[in-house]
């Protein structure tokens, strides 16, 4: 298991750069990972999605929610979600939120 | 330095309920992973974008060798729905209802709603000109997400470099 330093904190990551221990995640880490994903700034709308994912993952035994669960759960529309996290929201949101890739298909 | 975006194109040629889902599921997964998605609807696949048909797609039990009674919770092993029963009035409605129930159980939305999700996620939808002419359809018959009615040659041009999946 590889480790790397993000926002001054040493965390465990997998080959694709996803945090493997959600408990090591901090908001500062999210900001750094977002930059790596091409998002210069995280707005309150981004945080609404990230916070929902963190919350949902905790309730679902660490599993990242699917895009449809995110839109249904937050009220953020599909269009809006793809605008907030362009080019691959499923992976981007999960990575920024310090979770694994979603396991569901929808 | 800019990485080229991966492109994937689906050709949907079937209008049965179970044949609508593969492109929806894989297309949605592709969009979620940042892959560019184009879907070309041809022949019976036009039913998936036909606003009068898309939520009325059916699954017939006759000659369906995969749909076993076991799926319905009966202890019948490999026994399918006998074809002789499949011809009875209401059997197609029954198997359609059953399949819709199974689809809903895994959290997948109905065809129309699912396709709209793909459109909202940036999928580009096109109808095949030859099929549209053959079936006497017009652009107004299709859902809003359909960008245009194009020829097979147009499709070849617009999918240069894409991975193509025929369904």
The residue from A1, A23, A105, A106 that is catalytic is A105
Q: pLDDT by residue (tens digit) across B112-134?
A: 999 999 999 999 999 999 999 99
Average pLDDT over residues A59-63: 81
Q: Contact B14/B45 with Cβ under 8 angstroms?
A: yes
Which residues of chain B make contact with A106, given a CB cutoff of 8 A?
Answer: 25, 28, 106-109
Average pLDDT over residues A51-65: 88
Delimit the domains of chain B by residue range: 8-166
Which class is B8-166 in CATH? Answer: alpha beta
Q: pLDDT by residue (tens digit) across B72-99?
A: 889 999 999 889 999 999 999 999 999 9
Q: Grade residue A61 by pLDDT with cuts at 50, 70 and 90.
A: confident
Q: How far is A12 from chain B (nearest CA, A)?
A: 23
Please, which residues 22-81 of chain B have a Cβ atom closer than 8 Å to chain A? 25, 28-29, 31-35
Q: Grade residue B2 by pLDDT with cuts at 50, 70 and 90.
A: low
Q: Is B101 exposed, middle or buried (0-12, 13-18, 19+ CB in 10 A)?
A: exposed
pLDDT at position B4:
82
Q: How far is A85 from chain B (nearest CA, A)?
A: 10
Please indicate whether, in this complex, the C-beta atoms of A105 and B109 are within 8 angstroms of each other: no
Which residues of chain A make contact with B28, given a CB cutoff of 8 A?
Answer: 67, 105-106
Respond yes or no: is residue A53 known to be catalytic: no
Q: Grade residue A77 by pLDDT with cuts at 50, 70 and 90.
A: very high
Q: What's the mean per-residue pLDDT of chain A?
A: 90
- The full 3-state SS of chain B, as one line of letters, equals CCCCCCEEEEEECCCCHHHHHHHHHHHHHHHHCCCEEEEEECHHHHHHCECCCHHHCCCCCCCCCCCEHHHHCCCCCCCECCHHHHCCCCHHHHHHHHHHHHHHHCCCCCHHHHHHHHHHCCCEEEEEHHHHHHCCCCHHHECCCEEEEECHHHHHHHCCCCEEEEC
CB contacts < 8 A, A to B, total: 47
């Amino acid at each position: 298991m590889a480790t790397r330093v993000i926002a001054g904190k040493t965390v465990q990551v997998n080959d694709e750069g996803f945090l493997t221990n959600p408990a090591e995640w901090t908001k500062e880490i999210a900001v750094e990972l977002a930059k790596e994903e091409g998002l210069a700034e995280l707005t309150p709308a981004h945080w609404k999605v990230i916070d929902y994912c963190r919350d949902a993952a905790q309730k679902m035994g660490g599993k990242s929610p699917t895009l449809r669960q995110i839109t249904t759960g937050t009220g953020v529309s599909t269009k809006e979600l793809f605008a907030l996290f362009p080019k691959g929201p499923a992976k981007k949101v999960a990575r920024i939120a310090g979770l694994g890739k979603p396991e569901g298909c929808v | 330095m800019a990485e080229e975006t991966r492109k994937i194109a689906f050709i949907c040629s079937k209008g049965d309920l179970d044949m609508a889902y593969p492109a929806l599921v894989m297309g949605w997964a592709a969009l979620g992973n940042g892959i560019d998605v184009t879907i070309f609807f041809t022949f019976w696949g036009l039913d998936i974008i036909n606003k009068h048909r898309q939520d009325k797609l059916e699954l017939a039990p006759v000659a369906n060798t995969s749909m076993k009674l076991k799926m319905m919770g009966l202890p019948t092993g490999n026994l399918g729905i006998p074809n002789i029963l499949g011809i009875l009035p209401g059997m197609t409605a029954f198997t359609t209802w059953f399949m819709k129930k199974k689809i809903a159980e895994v959290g997948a939305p109905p065809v129309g709603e699912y396709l709209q999700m793909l459109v909202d996620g940036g999928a580009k939808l096109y109808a095949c000109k030859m099929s549209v002419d053959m079936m006497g359809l017009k652009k107004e018959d299709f859902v809003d997400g359909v960008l245009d009615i194009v020829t097979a040659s147009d499709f070849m041009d617009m999918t240069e470099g894409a991975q193509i999946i025929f369904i």
